[in-house]
Amino acid sequence: MFPEDKNLEAAAEQLCATARWCAARGWVPATSGNFSVRDGERMLVTASGLDKGALTRAGLLEIDATGKVMAGEGTPSAETALHRVLYRKRPQAKAILHVHTIWNTLVSGRFEAAGRVTLYGYELEKAFAGVGSHESSVQVPVLMNSQDYVWLAEELERKLDEYPDAPGVLLSRHGLYTWGDSVAEARRHLEALEFLFEVEERRQAGGSF
Ligand SMILES: [Zn+2]
């Protein structure tokens, strides 16, 4: 775990280390995924098309509140619009992690029609900010996937209003967005969600308990 973020540059280094950790786990295959940190109006986000296994500070772009690139080399990902919605709707969030894993791809497809994945009765739910017991019900909304990022941004905004306590949002057969008030908290949420998605998907697929 990382110490409390001191400033945006320290957070950026933690973000790059977290992206490399995700790559080592096979969670951002084929240059997929994107990662950001922010401090007030300043936001740093991964440039499009980079191998996250080799991500360094040079791979981050500084974006202003309108999405314009203020500093850095490269093109922002189309998904940068979703980061901006998330930061607007979750004022406490300082870091956002987006990964394409096998388990989040499977579980999001399974629950696309239901519109959410419900996690209940698992000890690891306590990893989420504000959850103190395995008897809590944690809901993660599932959005239909789309290449229309204007539409997707509007849908995301609606889901974040509908599920104020969700620790993450899934895009169906695409991936997971999660966040935290620091890179360390976002990483804890990511690791817990991916663990729980694997458990839930294996349970559903195997028909056990
Ligand atoms: Zn994606």
Q: How far is CA 64 from the centre of its chain?
A: 20
Calpha distance 138→118 (Å, rounded): 6
Q: What is the pTM of this model?
A: 0.94
Average pLDDT over residues 129-145: 90
Q: Sign of the C-alpha dihedral, residues 25, 31, 33, 39?
A: positive
pLDDT score recorded for residue 6? 58
Instruction: Give, as one character, the DSSP assignment of residue 59.
Output: G
pLDDT in tens, 65-114: 788 999 999 998 889 999 999 999 999 999 999 999 999 999 999 999 99
Neighbours of ion ligand 1 (CB under 5 A): 175
CA of 32 relative to ligand 1 center, distance in Å = 6
- Tell me the pLDDT tens digit for each residue of 19-56: 999 999 999 999 999 999 999 889 999 999 999 999 99
Residue 160 binned pLDDT confidence (cut-offs 50, 70, 90): very high
Q: Please tell me the distance between residue 91's alpha carbon and the centre of ligand 1 in angstroms.
A: 22
